[in-house]
Amino acid sequence: MQVSHEKWLQILHRRGPDSCQEQHLTTEYGTLDLFGSVLSMRGSLTTQPITDQHGNCLIWNGELFGLRDDASADVSDPGVSDTQLVLDWLSVTCDADHVMRILARIEGPYALIYYHRASQRLYFARDPLGRRSLLLSAGSAQHTEHVADQDEEGEGDLPPPLLDRLSSTALNMVMLSSVKVGDRYLALAFRNNLAALVNCLICSCQWFDVDTRGVYCLTLGHVLHLSLAPWSSTTKSWERDQSAALTRVNPQQELFRLLSDAVRRRVRVTAVSPDSAPVLVLFSGGLDSTVLAALVDLHLPRNCPIDLINVAFPSTPRATTGPSGQLISFDTAPDRRAAVMSLTDLRAASPHREWRLIFADISAEELQQYREHVIQLMYPAHTLMDLSISASLWFAARGQGYIYQAEQSANQAMYRSTARIVLSGLGADECLGGYSRHRTAARRSELDLIRELERDVTRLWYRNCGRDDRLISDHGRELRIPFLDERVMTYLASLPVNDRMNLKEAAGVGDKKLLRQLALSLGLKHSAQLAKRAIQFGSNIARLTKEQNGTSKRAIKGADKIK
């Protein structure tokens, strides 16, 4: 797919509607083309790329919520620009290990590209959990480099390391972008001769996720040299068993304290309006999203509404209509029924809060209308399962629908949330044993269960986070994931597995048991008893994507490719 330069700018502008800026740097070896679009969430608007007095240049897509080595540091102040702060830290030195150590201190999601002018080195990285998207493509003067397919797996069900993916060291062109919008125009490109550029344009460039093994350094020269400064063994503390050193506290109380604080740091805003909700919760009515909604309530002013978005698709491709002409098949979506019940619990727990439950009803025709756009955004993810999840997330993040009322009228006004913060419950299942495969592993042995949980966490950057970031950011909103807070994950990983879950008990009881206990303590009786239901089935979209893909006569499989 080829797109015009203007179309490319429009797509990236959707991610950052507050500022769009291009910069072209001439180096000793070639040209560095940069483009930054900004969704301003903190302090005064900081345009990007941002350059310091020494000519060092930063593109930062992230949030600074804390420091790993100083838990008391208050760096999540929404009135302070974290972009400038990160640039100041990085500008001290050009040493790759120093850059890695600076970034390893950061608590919060990010993807960044940093050019150090004096050393002519280009650094790029994603946070150790990969919560922000960053894609890469590379080429040489002779041909576009071969890279392993996104499907190919290396060690531990993960794609091969980036350094192994590139089959040739004779790189003349490297391209990095938050989202692929075609083969031609990119968020950042380094080229050092015209032949490399021309050949990369006429070939079909492969794009893939930048992995989370550490900080990559591209040394500019006639031939580009790529190296890696890996994260230290202590950076990914949630991957280490710390149970032996754990000081015993009440797990439910400690999870409440840490998760509540993670939500607090993610919903801090500079100003609130009694008419405008600053936070949009992706709300299935299930356990994870309802707990998050209840915790948001603890940290926003009482006069501030909270938006809850619930997306549903018709149970059949051609939805029937009721006596007044309204679509009625959306009400059969399991997540729709769960959302109404969980809203009752939230209103009982916090009756003075204005809870806006937004019903986003998406017809088969509208799904088909935006199908290609969603496929483009979710790339390099490319299966039917990805499409079902991605379309659900994209329509939910649009934040558009009608506000639920117990007595529904025939013609309700359309509402669109103005919230820039989107909260997702991603990570709860991976950390607390929410998937059926965890139950299967537990039947074999506790060790198999622990290994399955570890695999799920280590695959988040590849399977979920980058894809979800690309979809939600397309609406000029920012995805924030409290369950993937570093402090929450480190604590959960330190607990014995039986403190988190009891998979000998029935579904809806023993899975995510610790979180269910927390939900009950918050008065969330309905969601505390709900079994796990994947979004593609809870929203009714799985059948539609299967039929639109021409696979309606057989069971859908997660690995089925999009046609």
Are residue 182 and residue 312 in the same domain, yes or no?
no
Task: Give the full edge-to-edge strand order of the sheet including 173-177.
Answer: 19-26, 31-38, 188-191, 173-177, 135-139, 208-209
C-alpha dist (Å) from residue 538 to 63, 320, 388: 31, 19, 11
Are residue 477 and residue 394 in the same domain, yes or no?
yes
Count of CB atoms situated within 10 Å of the CB of 211: 23
Residue 554: pLDDT band with limits 50, 70, 90: low
Q: Does 383 have pLDDT greater than 80?
A: yes
Give me the residues paired with residue 70 across strands: 67
Whole-number pLDDT of residue 184 = 37
Token reading at 461: 């950057």
What is the arithmetic mean of pLDDT over 109-131?
Answer: 94
Token reading at 535: 């979004």
Whole-number pLDDT of residue 536 = 83
Q: Does 327 have pLDDT greater than 80?
A: no
Q: What is the CATH number of the domain that holds 340?
A: 3.40.50.620
Are residue 414 and residue 354 in the same domain, yes or no?
yes
Are residue 291 and residue 438 in the same domain, yes or no?
yes
Whole-number pLDDT of residue 237 = 79
- Give the lowest-confidence range in 70-79, 131-140, 323-332: 323-332
What is the per-residue pLDDT across 504-534, written as a single tens digit (0 to 9) for each? 999 999 999 999 999 999 999 999 999 888 8
Are residue 313 and residue 165 in the same domain, yes or no?
no
**pLDDT higher for 7 or 28?**
28
Token reading at 141: 């003067």
Rounded CA-CA distance 396/426 in Å is: 14
CB 417 within 8 A of CB 280: yes
Domain assignment of residue 302, yes or no: yes
Q: Does 107 have pLDDT greater than 70?
A: yes
Are residue 351 and residue 218 in the same domain, yes or no?
no
Q: Does 146 have pLDDT greater than 50?
A: no
What is the arithmetic mean of pLDDT over 61-84?
Answer: 86
Domain assignment of residue 154, yes or no: yes
Are residue 405 and residue 523 in the same domain, yes or no?
yes
**Structural domain that includes position 149:** 5-230
Whole-number pLDDT of residue 545 = 78
Count of positions (residues) in the chain: 563
Domain assignment of residue 326, yes or no: yes
Domain assignment of residue 563, yes or no: no
Whole-number pLDDT of residue 222 = 75
End-of-domain residue from the set 230, 261, 291: 230
Show the CA angle centred on residue 462, arms to residues 531 and 259, nearest 5°.
50
Are residue 360 and residue 463 in the same domain, yes or no?
yes
**pLDDT higher for 548 or 168?**
548
Residue 326: pLDDT band with limits 50, 70, 90: low
Residue 80 CA from chain centroid, whole number: 23
Q: Does 195 have pLDDT greater than 50?
A: no
End-of-domain residue from the set 230, 260, 276: 230
Are residue 296 and residue 399 in the same domain, yes or no?
yes
Give me the residues paired with residue 19 across strands: 38
Decide: helix, strand or coil at residue 217: strand
Rounded CA-CA distance 233/311 in Å is: 41
Domain assignment of residue 240, yes or no: no
- Give the lowest-confidence range in 1-5, 163-167, 337-341: 1-5
Q: Does 73 have pLDDT greater than 70?
A: yes
Torsion sign (Cα): 269, 479, 207, 461 = positive
Are residue 76 and residue 133 in the same domain, yes or no?
yes
| Sequence-distant (≥ 6) Cβ neighbours of residue 190 within 8 angstroms | 30, 31, 32, 33, 122, 173, 174, 175, 218, 220, 224
Q: How many CA atoms lie within 13 A of 538 on its CB side?
A: 21
Token reading at 428: 């709860």
End-of-domain residue from the set 230, 261, 284: 230
pTM for the structure as a whole: 0.91
Residue 147 CA from chain centroid, whole number: 24
Whole-number pLDDT of residue 160 = 87
**pLDDT higher for 551 or 497?**
497
CB 154 within 8 A of CB 140: no
Number of domains in the chain: 2
What is the per-residue pLDDT across 422-471, written as a single tens digit (0 to 9) for each? 999 999 999 999 999 999 999 999 999 999 999 999 999 999 999 999 99
Domain assignment of residue 10, yes or no: yes
- Give the lowest-confidence range in 56-65, 201-210, 222-231, 383-392: 201-210
Three-state SS string across 272-290, please? CECCECCEEEECCCCHHHH
Q: What is the CATH number of the domain that holds 61?
A: 3.60.20
Averaged pLDDT of the chain: 85
What is the arithmetic mean of pLDDT over 97-110?
Answer: 94
**pLDDT higher for 189 or 93?**
93
Rounded CA-CA distance 182/372 in Å is: 13
What is the per-residue pLDDT across 226-258, written as a single tens digit (0 to 9) for each? 899 999 888 887 776 555 445 568 999 999 999
Residue 43: pLDDT band with limits 50, 70, 90: confident
Strands 57-62, 110-116: pairing kind? antiparallel
Q: Does 308 have pLDDT greater than 80?
A: yes
DSSP 64-122: --EETTBTT-----TTS-HHHHHHHHHTT---HHHHHHHHHTEES-EEEEEEETTTTEE
Count of CB atoms situated within 10 Å of the CB of 94: 17
Domain assignment of residue 554, yes or no: no
What is the arithmetic mean of pLDDT over 160-181?
Answer: 78
Domain assignment of residue 198, yes or no: yes
With residue 353 as reference, give the H or E element that holds it.
none
Residue 203: pLDDT band with limits 50, 70, 90: very low
What is the arithmetic mean of pLDDT over 174-182?
Answer: 81
Are residue 377 and residue 456 in the same domain, yes or no?
yes
Residue 346 CA from chain centroid, whole number: 26
Q: Does 309 have pLDDT greater than 60?
A: yes
Are residue 466 and residue 375 in the same domain, yes or no?
yes
